[in-house]
Amino acid sequence: MADFDSEKFEDKYANYFPELQQAYKNAFNRMNDKYDSELVHAIDQQVLNESEPFYEGDGEFYVELPDDPYDRLAGVVVEEERFEQVLEKHVEEIETELQRVFNF
């Protein structure tokens, strides 16, 4: 586990790639246990693969999503409202995992 440095997080993929992978993987596994695995996998591969985690300060992270996430979804039939609920929960899980992985 690397010591967290907010300045190094600006170049997160060079400095914290293993930690980011672990946080996303942990969130995926948790979501996959609770929700429809086909939908969770589609969100992971078609929306979150283009997401960007940011550090806000005070141990808080947020995940910026690509534009029009529902329109990116292919191969899964789901109502937009349900998609939004599961996506929101998945993002919350990622943010929580980022805090955990970086010991906040």
First to last CA, the chain: 13
Task: Give the model's confidence band at 83: pLDDT under 50 very low, under 70 low, under 90 confident, else very high.
Answer: very high
For the cut 80, the answer to whether the pLDDT of residue 94 exceeds it is: yes
Judged by DSSP in three states, 38 sits in helix
Q: Give phi and psi for 61, each to the nearest 5.
A: -120, 160
Q: What is the pTM of this model?
A: 0.92
For the cut 90, the answer to whether the pLDDT of residue 96 exceeds it is: yes
For the cut 60, the answer to whether the pLDDT of residue 14 exceeds it is: yes
Kindly tell me the number of DSSP H helices and DSSP E strands found in the chain.
6, 2
pLDDT at 2: 53
Cα gap 31→26, rounded to integer Å: 9
